[in-house]
Chain A
Amino acid sequence: MEFQLKQRGRASIDIAADMAGFAGRLTGAVNKTLTTLDLAADMSERASQIQAATADSNAHWFSKSMGEWSGVSHGVITAEAFEEIKDELLPQFETLRDGPTQIEANPDIAYPEYWEGVDFHRTTGGWVREHQGFIHGELIHPLYVARNFPGGIFKQRYEVLAELGERHFPRILELGTSSGHFTLQLAKRFPHSDITGVELGLPMLEQAQRLANERNLKWRLVQAAAEDSGLPSESYDLVASYILLHELPESATHAVFAEAYRLLAPGGVMFMSDVRPFRDLDRLAEWRSVDGALRGGEPYWCEAASLDLAQLATDIGFVDAKSYGLGEYHYPWVTIATKPAR
């Protein structure tokens, strides 16, 4: 999609991204001063220890304040940048409704209680805010998050698929399609497969539709909850998601795994990529993770990071379930499991 930000939007996003990077540098510097602490197992006690150790630290105080500012401001800044160019974009949005990918919207959809009204990522309106798909997919992720995220957030979405080996999956379902970043990588890796995407937020599906139609890709996009897709049983060979699970409470993750099991044909594979579990982090990193989740508007991160997803998959009935992290940063954390063949 062709677009050009105006000077204010461009400069605002640039400085916000660099300020987040600056704060990250300070956080790293503070972490180095905390490595000698013998941190408690109990999180509450650990937080008190860290608070005491950083009471006199300007760097810690500043990086916390900057994190708070970034958490609140990035959504506002990018929404304002969009508003500056909205009139130029809307005709493109209209044009890209036409194409091989169409959305099966559900005007009567009942949002899950854990999802409705939640301002995920501290963005007012969450995933149902009008045009949030564009704001998230074309501004926040590439222009703000990607600048400070090690490893390349788009590259990682493609490279993770190497964990599936050389097997071909003719029918692929993505749960939690969002704005289509991972869907695009699935299509790139499996160009001859039929791809279906399920997502609750209609503005997000609209962005995924635009990505697909401008590339002449045919996806089936369905507005539904990942845990209750309404799709036929045993209809897919691969059910996948990318950073969906940390947005769900534990109960919903159980339901998503059960739904994946139902949807998979015998011998099919479930492939979920997400954040590192707490058990893979040292105590300081775990505290940082919890603190970051609070500031970043991630209400279910702690529940998600406490789960043993391989065990959960096994309990549901999957076999050969395994969970592990990729690369130096153990990210993404992959869970692969197979539905037993008949």
Chain B
Amino acid sequence: MATADAKADALLTMLLNVVQELWIVKDRQMVLEKLLADAGIDAGRAVNDYQPDADMAAELSAARKLLLERCLGSADDTTG
């Protein structure tokens, strides 16, 4: 039986998964921008203005859904 503590544990698990994913992304972003800056490219501005084409939009959509399942999927306790 899920108690308030069990809910808090589930929430903390989700949060920790999110923190992990977030850091992976931030680390990668910082590395990429440094590499690009060293190569003379203003990555910050380029990223800010970037418009995904259809293929990239589809790739982003798939990655978002995977992220949500990875981080929040433990919320679904409706099936065995």
Point out the residues of chain B lying under 8 angstroms from A8, CB to CB: 48
Given A6-B48, A18-B65, A33-B78 contact (CB < 8 Å) = yes
* Interface-facing stretch out of A56-64, A109-117, A209-217, A239-247: A56-64
Q: How many whole Å from A4's CB to the nearest CB in chain B?
A: 5
Least CB distance, B57 to chain A, in whole angstroms: 9
Cross-chain contact B51 with A62 (CB below 8 angstroms): no
Q: List 10 A-B contacts (CB under 8 A).
A: A4-B49, A6-B49, A18-B64, A18-B65, A22-B68, A29-B78, A56-B2, A57-B77, A62-B72, A62-B75
Please tell me if the beta carbons of B72 and A57 are within 8 angstroms of each other in the complex: no
Q: Are A61 and B7 in contact (CB under 8 A)?
A: yes
Name the residue of chain A whose CB is nearest to the CB of B78. A29
Q: How many A-B residue pairs have CB under 8 A?
A: 53
Taking the closest CB of chain B, its distance from the CB of A47, in whole angstroms, is 20
* Binary interface encoding of chain A residues 23-35 relative to chain B, with 1 for a CB under 8 A from any of its CBs, else 0: 0011001101100
Cβ proximity bits B63-80 to A, threshold 8 Å, 1 near / 0 not: 011001000101111110
Q: Give the Cβ gap from A80 to chain B, nearest Cβ, in Å.
A: 14
Bound form: Cα–Cα A10–B10 in Å: 29
Give complex CA distance A207, B50 in Å.
Answer: 26
Known: A4-B51, A18-B65. A32 touches B78 (CB 8 A): yes
Docked CA distance A32–B79 (Å): 10
For B78, what are the chain A residues with a Cβ–Cβ distance below 8 Å?
26, 29-30, 32-33, 57, 59
Could you say which of A7, A19, A58, A63 contacts B2, with CB atoms under 8 Å apart? Answer: A58
Choose one: B48, B64, B68; the contact of A7 (CB below 8 Å).
Answer: B48
Determine whether A15 belongs to the interface, using a CB cutoff of 8 Å to chain B.
yes
Given contacts A4-B49, A22-B72, contact A58 B7 (CB under 8 A): yes
Sort chain A's interface into a size bin: 20 to 34
On chain A, the residues within 8 Å of B17 by CB distance are: none
Interface of B (DSSP majority class) = helix
Q: Contact residue range for chain B? A: 20 to 34
A14 and B68 CA atoms in complex are apart in Å by 12
Task: Check if B1 is an interface residue, CB within 8 A of chain A.
Answer: yes
Kindly provide the distance from the CB of B11 to the nearest chain A CB, expressed in whole angstroms. Answer: 8
In the assembly, what is the distance between CA of A163 and CA of B50, in Å?
43
B49 touches A26 (CB 8 A): no
Q: Is the CB of B68 within 8 A of A59?
A: no
A24-78 at interface with B (beta carbon < 8 Å): 25-26, 29-30, 32-33, 56-59, 61-63
Contacts A29-B76, A59-B77; A15 near B64 (Cβ below 8 A): yes
Q: A15-B64, A18-B68, A19-B68 are in contact. Are A58 and B51 (CB under 8 A)?
A: no
Question: Is there a chain A Cβ closer than 8 Å to B20's Cβ?
Answer: no
CB-based closest 9 A-B pairs: A62-B75, A29-B78, A56-B2, A58-B77, A22-B68, A18-B64, A59-B78, A59-B76, A7-B48
* Closest A residue by C-beta to B65: A18
Most buried by A among B50, B52, B76, B79: B76
Give the nearest-CB partner of A6 in chain B: B48
Closest Cβ neighbor of A11 among chain B residues? B60
Nearest Cβ distance between residue A64 and chain B, in whole angstroms?
Answer: 11
- Which single residue of chain A is at the shortest CB-CB distance from B68? A22
Assess whether A56 is in contact with B75, with CB atoms less than 8 Å apart.
no
- The complex places the Cα of A33 from the Cα of B51 at a distance, in Å, of 42
